[in-house]
Structure 1
Amino acid sequence: MKDLLVVGGGPAGLATALHAAREGLTVTVLERRAGTVDKACGEGLMPGAVAALADLGVDPAGHDLRGIRYVAGARRVEADFRSGAGRGVRRTTLHDALRDAVEAAGVPVEQATVHGLAQDADGVTAAGHRGRYAVAADGLHSPLRRSLGLDRPRRRQLRRGLRRHYAVRPWSDHVEVHWAREAEAYVTPVADDLVGVAVLTTRRGSYDDHLAAFPELLDRLAGAPHAGSDRGAGPLRQDATARTAGRVLLVGDAAGYVDALTGEGIALAVAQAGAAVQAIARGDVAAYEQDWRRLTRRYRWLTHALLGATSLRPTRTALVPAAERLPWLFGATVDALARPADEPGRPHSSPTGQSAG
């Protein structure tokens, strides 16, 4: 019997496996898909995520990011990261780098479809595999979260994301966030000849329909060939009633997700993975719930605040002009988002607020 079964071979699951191997636990990863896994995401790693991955021995190739720029028509405001460079990384490149590290650590990754978990006093069984504990890292719409009775459905209108790559030389070393009336477009350089453009919106429609709301971007990308297939994800908002059920812990998007607009997903997943493994190593699974709340508090607060503000059209329209008038506020918020997920806040000469890309 293994110490730990990890269900899900995306970044959250693979990071959990690496933390477990470092802790000296025996672990097996169960993933239903073979090969490199792609998904729709902004592909921008904040400096905290770059540092957290490096601590696990993972250093994916990509394009350095100096900061974040907000754009609304002719208005724009930008802030540089104070804690080092971020990095734009193709999702497939990140997955390959994590898989290579897991393989180097001697952790087996088995192709298996897990429909449910069976628990008893001594362990957990999943797809014929047995472990003392299990981590569910099976993504945004986690089947295991539902099967464990931890899913909290939401009925109101929710946001979705679409992503496309363009074979074009990046025109900036910042993540650009373009604001329109009902959508944002996130432009992330991921290589010297490739940019990803992700659109977040509550409206239905094709990628081209949504991109039409950003005429400056259309001009920039005119004639640039598409690279690969479009990807979509959503609804983005997912809630869980708890992060643990018996001997099972939820990590990453499976544990609950607010929105992608702050770009902290990978940093949070790596931090949650470490906290889950520490709870398992101590034999105190219940402590993970409190650790999860501590690690995600800043993300949840900033993301809820920004979503609430930008859901109102007058506030949404005023966001970039306000950031222009208060650059210290914009810079302080970008700095907060750039820090590692578990790093305590640092004092600033001026109060901080919420806004990010």
Structure 2
Amino acid sequence: MDLLVVGGGPAGLATALHAVRAGLDVAVWERRAGVVDKACGEGLMPGAVTALAALGALPAGHDLRGIRYVAGARRVDADFGAGAGRGVRRTTLHAALRETVLAEGVRVEQRTAHRVEQDEDGVSVDGTRAGHLVAADGLHSPIRRALGLDRPRRVRPRHGLRRHYELAPWSDHVEVHWARCAEAYVTPVADDLVGVAVLTAARGSFDDHLAAFPELRERLAGARHAGPVRGAGPLRQDTSARTAGRVLLVGDAAGYVDALTGEGIALALAQAPAAVRAVTSGDLVGYEREWRELTRRYRWLTHALLGVTRVPPARAALVPLAQRLPWLFSATVDALARPAGQHRASRPGGRPAAAVPEGEGDMCP
């Protein structure tokens, strides 16, 4: 076998698709059976829509025009300049990718990886031999940890909670509602279904956190819940490197800052072909360079937003500032919408917007 992919989520399945189309003998191991749900904002940026269409795995969903920031009575919109995004249930996305992978003849096995050994010629995972291994086993990647690539995290951990409501969407934008210690992301995912995800460092249930958004809670009142609340976190995951010998990390396993900017799927879909190029060329060092380039914009913007929003007065001023400087808000949204790897947003005249260093603490209780 040329390539073994451990992890059958979007990152792993996209990697397998690129690998088989590059002529590699590839297999996927996923410990969970069938289509898997996960706590996720479920909004695909235009770059992710383009990548999925190129793979022949674009799922049905609800088209998205852009992003809307909301804080009480204040709101500001910015439309995507790179085409429409799409709200898609995580299960629908996973099913589309899984069906495409199986149609290509890729072996998808329900197996858990326990022991990874490697030498100059290949990798052995529980006795199964492959030329290279891609670890796409998620935010808390056991393979990343076993390889010693985890780095300690100094910031207060943030978590995400998501619930679906049987309700017709009231907007064709992803709404980001801002409260003192949390954000709520409202994403239309079908004509009769809305996903609501809350990100916060504070403890509490989904309903506890929703109470911080009275207008949103009132709009959702009376709507039936479609399935249970799902959670994910801690979100921040730092890695010292994206490769170790003949092993490559792809997707959330390769490191994650925060879900604040909603780029997770788009980044995974961009990393997948980069990892396959590194395998086919034998240049794994090149993957490390390309990963840094692909994720630079995400890391820069997300660190900047987190740095600002950790301080309550600055957090409260974020939406009013976006209203006063709509060009800056639009430029930021446009940067998020473009395919990963393109140049980052800049001020009029080409001057890059200044980054704000990420804070070390969190002032919310």
| Shorter-chain TM-score range | over 0.9
1:130 matched to 2:129 = yes
- Alignment match, 1:308: 307
Once the two structures are TM-superposed, the CA of residue 353 in structure 1 deviates from its matched residue by 4.2
- Alignment match, 2:112: 113
Amino acid at match of 1:334: V
**Is residue 332–residue 353 contact of structure 1 (8 Å, CA) maintained in 2?**
no
**Is residue 162–residue 230 contact of structure 2 (8 Å, CA) maintained in 1?**
yes
- Alignment match, 1:187: 186
CA distance in 1, matches of 2:198, 2:212: 10
CA distance in 2, matches of 1:180, 1:344: 31
**Is residue 164–residue 227 contact of structure 2 (8 Å, CA) maintained in 1?**
yes
- Alignment match, 2:252: 253
- Alignment match, 1:242: 241
- Map 1:153-172 to 2 at 5 A: 153-172=152-171
- Alignment match, 2:3: 4
SS in 1 for 2:340: coil
- Alignment match, 1:337: 336
Which runs of structure 1 show a deviation greater than 3 angstroms over 4 or more consecutive aligned residues?
A: 344-355
Q: TM-score, normalised by structure 1?
A: 0.97
**Is residue 112–residue 127 contact of structure 1 (8 Å, CA) maintained in 2?**
no
- Alignment match, 1:298: 297
Gaps of 5+ in 1: none
- Alignment match, 1:59: 58
The number of residue pairs the alignment matches comes to: 354
Q: Please, which moves more after superposition, 185-194 or 150-159?
A: 150-159
- Alignment match, 1:98: 97
CA distance in 1, matches of 2:323, 2:345: 23
SS in 2 for 1:101: helix
SS in 1 for 2:343: coil
Deviations 1:214-240 (A, max 9, x none): 000111001000001110000000011
- Alignment match, 2:23: 24
Amino acid at match of 1:206: S
**Is residue 32–residue 110 contact of structure 2 (8 Å, CA) maintained in 1?**
yes
SS in 2 for 1:260: coil
CA distance in 2, matches of 1:347, 1:313: 26
**Is residue 238–residue 256 contact of structure 1 (8 Å, CA) maintained in 2?**
yes
CA distance in 1, matches of 2:280, 2:66: 37
CA distance in 1, matches of 2:93, 2:129: 28
**Is residue 140–residue 256 contact of structure 1 (8 Å, CA) maintained in 2?**
yes
- Alignment match, 1:212: 211
Gaps of 5+ in 2: 356-365
Amino acid at match of 1:229: P
RMSD after superposition: 1.4
- Alignment match, 1:69: 68
SS in 2 for 1:286: helix
Provide closer, same or farther for how the CA distance between residues 354 and 261 of structure 1 changes in structure 2, counting only shifts above 3 A.
farther
CA distance in 1, matches of 2:21, 2:164: 35
- Alignment match, 1:282: 281
CA distance in 1, matches of 2:314, 2:354: 13
